[in-house]
Every structure is written in structure tokens, then in C-alpha cells.
Homo-oligomer: A and B are copies of this chain.
């Protein structure tokens, strides 16, 4: 019966389909949802399926959600879309969500900054089935809201005292990998440009750096840590500090790719040759790392897996139980050209 197709202007409802197929709406509903208990004559089923197709039926999400108290939506909140680290996490989360028929509502601190409360309020209205939270703005002092919403949540890449549901990466291992690489190249004076003091990832990477230094038999005189924001500007300032210290290191492990870009720039701007006079390795890879000059040696972390598994865990977890998960994906060193053998003493004196 062509020509009937899509009663223009009005959405097709279950009732339309039921009338068209000559059955009750409940039957159509069960067929749409593949109800396993449904026992229906094959010919009826066919008739309904034909009607569904012919009318172009799509279930109304609001009605379904009102009835079932489920939305098929997850909230994902992060500090900054411009940060490549988060871009990769979102993408992983998105893929996992799509696989499970979920859709992602996203928000960044840019907005929340001015009105976090108002923004979160929108989510308190039963718009989402769960919350994925990362970055300082969305994980600090949020306990009260989380309780009010009574929603399952998961902190991404960050642990916060009092919130025992999080998923993180093996940041210590990443830092160790970076240090070991430099030690293998003969470096002993290895500084660490760490992240901000309030970042959990920064603490873990710093711990990994110190572990690896000690494991290599290096002591206090070789260990040097300077905190910086996870931004290029932060990296610039930190590198300037590193290079102005009396006992200049021959290599630097930078805790984050954005600050590493700033750090590299500062070293070059001060006339240092990288890697001949200073080796730099960054934690986190980026599509851009290979196109810097020199191409940056990095430790790639499984950020995509982090986002992917975050969604999976959130959806399969009981809403209340603690959930403390470390992603097992590959954390690997990618050697490019910003790291090299330790400069000989004469060469160093030469500068």
C-alpha cells in the first residue's frame, strides 16, 4: 500500500502501526523490542514488520524513557575539548556507547566554569543513565551533587578522596618506561617536569619517575622535579627553570604532551640542540608528535581504551559498588628523534 507512507507532519506512533497491521499496540511493542517471551503467529509478525517498515516507525525516546526510567544516554564531562588527550578518550567512549545503543551528552569546563551547577542541573532531570567525569572541575567537591542525582558515575583518569569509583591508566609504568629509555641511552641527570600538584595523574607519574630513578641506583642529586600546568605555557616556564638550574640535566621527562610541546619550544628557543644537548620524552602521544621538529619521543597510553572501557564498566556495574579499575591496554614507548645518547662531557662543556 504505497502512498500511505509517512502521514506527513505527524510522527508515526505505535498506535498507527497497530491500526495499520490490525493488531494491538502491545503486540507491536513486543515485536519492536524483540521480546523473547512473545509467542505470535509468523504471519502476524510478518504483517506487523511490514507495517513498521512501510510507515517508517521509530519509537519515541521520551515516551519509552518515561515508562522505563532509562534514557539510553550517558553524560561525559571533561575539562577541555581542545586537549588531544581528551579527544582520544571521547572517541573511545563514543564507540563503546554506540555499540550499546547509547548516545553521549558532552560538556566541558568551559561552560561549567561559569555555571557548573546550572549545567549539572540539566542532568539531574533524568536525562542520563550515568555520568563519566574527568578533570578537576567535575571531580572536586562534586560529592553532594552525585548523591543528589543518585546516578551511577565513574571518574576518568582521576582519583578523588571519598569517591571510590574510578578508572585510571598505569601512569607509573608510563613514567618508568620514559626514564628507563633515557637511562638506556646513558643519561643519569634526568629531570621531571611534572603536572600540577592537584592532579592525581601528576602524582602517579612522578612516583613512577622516582621509582625508576631509584631502581637505576640514582639518588637525590640526580632527581629533580618541577611542577607545571598541563599546557604549553606551563611547559615553557618549567623548562626555563630546569635550564637555569646550576646542575643542568641532560634529559627531561615531561608528564604531558601539551607541556612537552612548550618545553621543547623553550629549549630550542634558548639555543639548545635537541637531542644532542638535551633529550626530551613526553608522556602521552599525539598525532602531532611525529611532526614536531624534532619529532617527539613519547610514551603512548591507551586513551582510547580508557574511554571505551569507562563506558563498558559504567553500564555493566552495579550503581553503588566501588569500582577501581586500571586499564590494561598497551603503554608503549615510541622512539622518535627528541631523545639521544647522553652528550659527552666535552660537548657539554662546549656550550
Interface of A toward B, CB cutoff 8 Å = 6, 9, 11, 56, 58-66, 71-73, 80-82, 84, 86-88, 90-91, 94-95, 98, 101, 103-108, 110-111, 115, 118-119, 121-127, 148, 150, 231-232, 235-236, 261-262, 264-265, 268-269, 287-288, 290-293, 295
This chain: how many copies in the complex?
2
Q: Are A98 and B115 within 8 A (Cβ)?
A: yes
Smallest Cβ-Cβ distance to A115: which chain B residue = B98
How far in angstroms is the closest Cβ of chain B from A15? Answer: 14
Which residues on B sit within 8 Å (CB–CB) of A124? Answer: 58
How far in angstroms is the closest Cβ of chain B from A61? Answer: 4
Which residues on B sit within 8 Å (CB–CB) of A84? Answer: 82
Q: Are B82 and A110 within 8 A (Cβ)?
A: no
Which residues on B sit within 8 Å (CB–CB) of A269? Answer: 293
Q: Are B91 and A108 within 8 A (Cβ)?
A: yes
How far in angstroms is the closest Cβ of chain B from A269? Answer: 7
Smallest Cβ-Cβ distance to A232: which chain B residue = B291
Which residues on B sit within 8 Å (CB–CB) of A65? Answer: 62
How far in angstroms is the closest Cβ of chain B from A293? Answer: 5
Which residues on B sit within 8 Å (CB–CB) of A64? Answer: 125
A105 to B232, CA, bound (A): 30
Contact of A293 among B59, B88, B95, B268 (CB under 8 A): B268
Beyond known contacts A58-B126, A265-B295: 8 more, CB 8 A cutoff = A58-B121, A61-B127, A62-B66, A73-B127, A82-B87, A103-B122, A103-B123, A292-B293
How far in angstroms is the closest Cβ of chain B from A137? Answer: 13
Contact of A126 among B60, B88, B118 (CB under 8 A): B60
Which residues on B sit within 8 Å (CB–CB) of A118? Answer: 98
